[in-house]
Each structure stands twice: as C-alpha cells, then as structure tokens.
Amino acid sequence: MVKISPSILISDFLTLKDSIKELEAAGVDMLHLDVMDGIFVPNISFGNPVIKSIKAHSNLPLDVHLMIDRPHRYIEEFAKYADLLGFHYEAGSDNVELLKKIRELGCKSCITIKPATPAEAIFDLLPLCDMVLVMSVEPGFGGQKFMPMALDKIKALKEESIRQGLNIDIEVDGGINAETAPQAIAAGANVLVAGNFLFSADDMGAKVKEIKAL
C-alpha cells in the first residue's frame, strides 16, 4: 500500500497546527520533517523544539529526515520525538553504528541517499534499515523538478531488498506530483514525500486518495 508523508516545510508555520489537522483529515500516513543545518545542505529549517511541539499536536507518526552534518551528535535528542529517524549516507558518520543506535533508541531507522550516490552504496546496510529514502532532487530546497535517475535507484533497491529477503519501505522525496508519483510507485517506491503537490491542491483529501489509488 502506498503511504503519503507530506513535508511540512512548505506550510505556513504561523498556521502550522491548522495545516497538520488538515493533513490528518486528508488521510496522510505520517508527517515528513526536514531538519537542515546550513552545513550539510545550503539551507536552515528547524530543530528539535519544533518537532517536540508537532508531536504534542498530532498523533501521526513523525518521519524525521536529518539533513545535517555528523548526525551522530544529535541522534539521541531527535529520537525522543521521532517515530522514524533517518540521516544521510553522505553525512560523515559510522552508518552501521548509527542505524543500530536509532533502533536501540526505539525508532525505526532510515538511511538517505543524494542524487549522486548510487543505490549499490547502501546495499550492505539494508538489513539495518526499516526504510530507505531516495532523494529525487538535491536536498535543501523545495519546489525542484523530479530527477528521473531516481527511478533506476528505486528499482535497484527494491530488487536488492527482495533478494535479501527484506520487507523495507522505499521512500522518494522531491518533485512528486500527478505525473511522477505513478512512475515512482511503478519503480518500487511505497512511501511518497509530497509538498507543493498537496499544499497547492484545492482538495487535499482528493489528492491523497488519488495517489493511494495508483
């Protein structure tokens, strides 16, 4: 089944509580929270205090995507509020130990790869992951166009997870819309991060149903 994890980065933070309630009513499966530090990516978003506040106002699982340098420094703090906690393969930490630590702290684990990183780079890490995230845009800014190269990586990760006998989620983030969502699902993705596509919709619930019906 396809799951929708909308990125709140696109929402108006002055009315964030209302946006979350609207997303809940629309039938999304979780909330995607992009944490950016201005070092690993050229942008800054928000940190744990905002995530703590969101946790207090929503029963949806929190899908926390760390786009930060040396994420091992902050894993214990983010794990207090995240349900699923992910970091970048390229971020300069011991990936094996970090994935194990995330699970030890009671969160589901995720590793993310940027567009330039091949799928094969994380094949040996798949047994330690509950989900993998394929970036279909360069991380750091919303509103970018979907990079078709992501489809081959999604397919490769899906095939490898089956070969290893694993049942993991494959998430895709960036440029998801009515055209690219079916392509990503056909390639093997089952979790879609959507931002502009949902928040610009006249009927958010209808858009969620449209994607889930693919």
Question: How does pLDDT run across 120-172, given as a tens digit for each residue?
Answer: 999 999 999 999 999 999 987 766 789 999 999 999 999 999 999 999 999 99
Query: For residues 207 and 201, what is the distance between their CA atoms, to the nearest angstrom?
Result: 7
The per-residue b/e assignment along 32-53, b for 16 or more CB within 10 angstroms, e otherwise, is: bbbbbbeebbeeebbebebbee
| pLDDT value of position 15 | 82
For residues 64-80, average pLDDT: 96
Give the global pTM.
0.95
For residues 74-94, average pLDDT: 95
Q: What is the pLDDT of residues 7-53, one digit of tens each?
A: 988 777 778 889 899 999 999 999 999 999 999 999 999 999 999 99
Active site residue ranges: 34, 173
| pLDDT value of position 158 | 98
Question: Beta strand pairing status for 169-173 and 191-193?
Answer: parallel
| pLDDT value of position 142 | 67
Per CATH, the number for 3-212 is: 3.20.20.70
Residue 74 phi/psi, 5-degree rounding, is: -125, 5
| pLDDT value of position 197 | 85
pLDDT classification of 212: cutoffs 50, 70, 90: confident
What's the Cα-to-Cα distance from 64 to each of 78, 86, 147, 180, 213, rounded to whole Å? 8, 6, 22, 23, 25
Task: State the average pLDDT for the chain.
Answer: 94
Structure tokens at 108: 């589901």
CA 125, distance to chain mean position in Å, is 17
The per-residue b/e assignment along 105-132, b for 16 or more CB within 10 angstroms, e otherwise, is: eebbbbbbbbeebebeebeebbebbbbb
| pLDDT value of position 64 | 98
Query: For residues 86 and 64, what is the distance between their CA atoms, to the nearest angstrom?
Result: 6
Residue 60 phi/psi, 5-degree rounding, is: -70, 145
pLDDT of 203 strictly over 80: yes
Q: What is the pLDDT of residues 186-199, one digit of tens each?
A: 999 999 998 888 88
For residues 53-60, average pLDDT: 93
What's the Cα-to-Cα distance from 208 to each of 175, 193, 202, rounded to whole Å? 16, 11, 12
For residues 88-115, average pLDDT: 96
Question: What are the domain boundaries of the chain?
Answer: 3-212
